[in-house]
Amino acid sequence: MSDTRFTKDHEWISVAGDIGTIGITDYAQGQLGDVVFVDLPEIGRKADQGKEIAVVESVKAASEIYAPVAGAVVEVNKALADNPALVNQDPLGGGWFLKMRIADKKQMGALMNEAAYAAYVKGLG
């Protein structure tokens, strides 16, 4: 996952070309507990870096999902409508939330790589 970056809010983004696939980390899904609903954005919706782009609801709470970078939504994971538990089962794979056309790839530089994120989470202890 060398092309994957992480935010302090526990989102991840994996980039291929100018498209970023976005989801939440294993740590985040573990904190949320059983995910029961995901509110995904409309195709074409634009979001600035750090602004809300989706909502995930669990048995414990509802949490906003923030855009790791600015861009426009090009695809959402429709499988989550019927099976939101995918977020718990495979948060870094099949449990992705949306794909976004990245407006400015330079924003990726503000995000953590896997090692930095692991150290960050360890510090939350």
Reading the chain (125 residues) residue by residue, the pLDDT tens digits are 458 999 999 999 999 999 999 999 999 999 999 999 999 999 999 999 999 999 999 999 999 999 999 999 999 999 999 999 999 999 999 999 999 999 999 999 999 999 999 999 999 97
CATH topology for 4-103 is OB fold (Dihydrolipoamide Acetyltransferase, E2P) (2.40.50)
Length of the chain equals 125
| Closest of 82, 78, 88 to residue 28, by C-alpha | 88
pTM more than 0.85: yes
d(CA 114, CA 42): 29
- Domain range summary for the chain, segments of one domain joined by +: 4-103
